[in-house]
Amino acid sequence: MISKLLTVFLGSVMVFAGAPAASRAQGSSDRSIGGPAYRKIILMKDLIADILPPPAYIIESYLTALRAVDEAERESPDKSKINALLEYGRLLKEGDSSKSEMAGYYERINVWKKDLSEENEDWKAIKHNLVKVSFDPAKKFFEIRDTKFNPLIKAGKAAEAKKVLRTQLRPLYEEHRKGIDKVVQLSRAMGIKLERQITSAASEREIMIGGPLYHKIIQLKDVVSDVLPPPMYIIETYLTAMELLDAADARASRERIDELAKYGLRLRDGNVQTKTPGYNERLPQWEKALSSDTPDDREIKRLMTKASVEPAQKFFDALENQLIPAVKQGNVTEAKNILRKDMLSLYEEHRKNIDLLVAAADKKFKEVEREVLK
Q: Which of 318, 328, 171 is nearest to 244 (CA)?
A: 328
Of 169-178, 193-202, 222-231, 337-346, the poorest mean pLDDT is in 193-202
pLDDT above 60: residue 124: yes
Grade residue 107 by pLDDT with cuts at 50, 70 and 90: very high
- pLDDT at position 169 over 90: yes
d(CA 327, CA 350): 24
Cα 3 from chain centroid (whole Å): 12
293-297: list long-range contacts, CB under 8 Å, 24+ apart. Answer: 296/360, 296/363, 296/364, 297/364
Choose the final residue of a domain: 179, 213, 230.
230
143 contact partners, CB below 8 Å, separation of at least 6: none
What residues contact residue 53 under an 8 Å CB cut-off, 6+ apart? 60, 230, 233, 235, 354
- The predicted pLDDT at position 240 comes to 97
For residue 276, the cross-strand partners are: 271
Q: Cα dihedral sign for 45, 51, 55, 57? A: positive
Same domain, residue pair 198 and 246: no
**Range among 3-17, 63-77, 261-275 rated most confident:** 63-77
Q: Residue 22: pLDDT band by 50, 70, 90 thresholds?
A: very low
Residue predicted with more confidence, 7 or 266: 266
Give the residue with greater pLDDT, 368 vs 284.
284
Claim to verify: residue 109 and residue 47 sit in the same structural domain? yes
What mean pLDDT is predicted for residues 53-71?
Answer: 96
Domain count, the chain: 2
Mean pLDDT, range 36-45, rounded to an integer: 82
- Identify which has the larger pLDDT, 129 or 227: 129
3-state secondary structure of 32: strand
Shared domain check, 247 and 157: no
Instruction: Specify the amino acid at residue 137.
Output: P
Residues 6+ apart with CB under 8 A from 370: none
Q: How many helices (H) and strands (E) does the chain have?
A: 20, 0
Same domain, 295 and 223: no
pLDDT at 164 over 90: yes
Residues 248, 202 contacting (CB under 8 angstroms): no
In this structure, are residues 55 and 88 in contact, taking their beta carbons and an 8 Å threshold?
no
Q: Which of 34-38, 222-226, 279-283 has the lowest mean pLDDT?
A: 34-38
DSSP states of 91-131: HHHH--GGGTSPP-HHHHHHHHHHHS--SSHHHHHHHHIII
Structure confidence at residue 202 (pLDDT):
54
User: Which among 273, 354, 284 is positioned nearest to 315, based on CA atoms?
Assistant: 354
Average pLDDT of 16-40?
Answer: 55
Buried b (16+ CB within 10 A) or exposed e, 288-304: eebeeeeeeeebbbbbb
Q: Domain ends where: 176, 195, 230?
A: 230
Domain boundary among 205, 230, 255: 230
Contact 198, 35 (CB under 8 A): no
Q: Does 206 lie in the same domain as 241?
A: no
Residues 169 and 151: their CA atoms lie apart, in Å, by: 14
Do residues 331 and 324 touch, judged by C-beta distance below 8 A?
no
Count other C-beta atoms under 10 Å from residue 340's C-beta.
14
Instruction: Name the maximum alpha-carbon separation found in the chain.
Output: 70
What percentage of the chain carries pLDDT values higher than 90?
A: 67
Q: What is the structure's pLDDT at 59?
A: 96
For residue 14, pLDDT over 70 is answered with no
pLDDT value of position 212? 78
Residues 105, 37 share a domain = yes
Q: What is the percentage of the chain residues whose pLDDT exceeds 70?
A: 88
189 in the same domain as 151: yes
- 117 and 103 together in one domain: yes
Is the domain of 241 the same as that of 217? no
Same domain, 209 and 69: yes
Amino acid identity for residue 331 in this structure:
N
Q: Is the pLDDT of residue 24 over 60?
A: no
Rg of the chain in Å (alpha carbons) = 21
**pLDDT band at 4, cuts 50/70/90?**
very low
What pLDDT is recorded for position 19?
36
**Which of 32-36, 282-286, 348-352 is predicted with the least confidence, judged by mean pLDDT?**
32-36
What confidence score (pLDDT) does residue 224 get?
A: 85
User: What tens digit of pLDDT does each residue of 172-220 get?
Assistant: 999 999 999 999 899 888 888 887 777 776 566 667 777 778 888 888 8
- Mean pLDDT over 297-313 rounds to 97
Q: How confident is the model at residue 99 (pLDDT cuts 50, 70, 90)?
A: very high
Please, what is the average pLDDT of the chain?
Answer: 87
Q: Are residues 124 and 251 in the same domain?
A: no
Shared domain for 183 and 299, answered yes or no, is no
Domain limits at 115? 1-230
What pLDDT sits at residue 1? 43
Instruction: Say what the pLDDT of residue 39 is.
Output: 82
